[in-house]
Amino acid sequence: MLSLALVVFAFLAGATAVPTGDHDLARLNMLGYISPYHKAPIPFGVAKELPNDCKVDQVMLMARHGSRTPSFELPLIKAMTEQLARASDAIARAKLPKELVFLKKGYQTTLSEGTMTAAGRQQILEHGKFKQKYPHLKVDGLLAGDIPRVVESAELFAKAYFGDDWQTNPAASISKIAEDDVTVSWITSFLTCPKWGFETSDQDTAVWESIFLPSISRRLNKAIPGLGFTDKHALGALYACPYDFADTEKSPWCNVFSDKELADFA
């Protein structure tokens, strides 16, 4: 029997860059769907290695894309930086705790909207090592949701796996699947479910934000009299942590929040 491998760039949460330097992996892993990439824990009772009398006949590699910049979160981050600029005099006067001293030099965001970062592209190229781990398997297909950063990820994987001439290799052909409320697809099956909508989750999120964000905005406003942060500004600062990190592998905001605040955010 011919061994096959299917590579799918499906509707999965986007990972952020692998933590390095001063950032604590355990804390950054509290960031839910925008946590840095990390290996999943091995379930209890399951061996990491295959028994000697077993072999791999088929593998499905599922990914979404490499580290990306924010999408719907970007306006929140920009609004937060604009408020910081308006409060620059208050920041200059304040005696800041060490985790906020970076604000004395000003904080600006250069994040674009919804594109892969350099680190994200490198992550996808690393996925090409899939071929080294399973050299006896042949790729049976490449599927990608028809979103620019997802298609780009599939193309980068194909280049890493098949080589620079991947575009002329029939096995590297990428099948694009629309991500909309019309196309029935197991990649985005929820979008065509008539009883499903973002409204419910958005309402639940708003309720939770009204519970955990006020204490954060109050704490920051107390630390910097005249800062004028609203709960939405605090949310923008929370988003700046993982997305700065996805872009440059560092963010001063990650050290501003406690473990509990990051866990509540997730």
Please state the domain extents for the chain: 1-68+113-187, 71-110+197-266
pLDDT of residue 24: 67
* Average of per-residue pLDDT values in the chain: 86
What are the φ/ψ torsions at residue 12 (nearest 5 degrees)? -115, 160
Rg, Å, the chain Cα set: 22
User: Is the pLDDT confidence value at 16 over 60?
Assistant: no
- pLDDT category at 7 given cuts 50, 70, 90 is low
Sheet strands side by side (includes 138-145): 58-63, 4-9, 138-145, 174-177
Q: What angle do CA 78, 81, 86 make, to 5 degrees?
A: 125
pLDDT in tens, 33-66: 888 777 778 888 888 888 889 888 888 888 888 8
User: Is the pLDDT confidence value at 266 over 60?
Assistant: yes
pLDDT in tens, 241-263: 999 998 888 899 999 999 999 98
What are the φ/ψ torsions at residue 142 (nearest 5 degrees)? -120, 120
pLDDT of residue 236: 97
User: Is the pLDDT confidence value at 14 over 80?
Assistant: no
User: Is the pLDDT confidence value at 13 over 60?
Assistant: no
Q: CA torsion angle for 95, 99, 100, 105 (degrees, to 10)?
A: 100
SS3 state at 162: helix
Stated pTM of the model: 0.83
Burial string for 66-75 (b: 16+ CB within 10 Å, else e) reads bbbbbeebbe
Residue 247: exposure state from Cβ atoms within 10 A (0-12, 13-18, ≥19): buried
pLDDT of residue 66: 87
In this structure, the number of other CB atoms found within 10 A of the CB of residue 200 comes to: 10
Do 242 and 16 form a contact (C-beta atoms < 8 A)?
Answer: yes
Quote the CA–CA distance of 252 and 245 in Å, as a whole number. 9
SS3 state at 243: helix
Q: Which residue has better confidence, 19 or 200?
A: 200
Considering the chain, what percentage of its residues have pLDDT values greater than 90?
50
Considering the chain, what percentage of its residues have pLDDT values greater than 70?
91
CA distances from 266 to 30, 52, 238, 251 (A): 6, 40, 10, 17
pLDDT in tens, 191-227: 888 888 888 788 889 999 999 999 999 999 999 999 9
Q: Which residue has better confidence, 13 or 130?
A: 130
Burial string for 18-53 (b: 16+ CB within 10 Å, else e) reads bbeeebeeebbebbeebbbbeeeeeeeeeeeeeeee
CA distances from 204 to 131, 211, 234, 235, 244 (A): 42, 11, 18, 16, 26
Lowest mean pLDDT among 29-33, 49-53, 79-83: 29-33
Q: Which residue has better confidence, 190 or 78?
A: 78
What is the rounded average pLDDT of the residues 129-141?
A: 85
User: Is the pLDDT confidence value at 21 over 70?
Assistant: no
User: Is the pLDDT confidence value at 19 over 50?
Assistant: no
pLDDT in tens, 94-126: 999 999 999 999 999 999 998 999 989 998 999
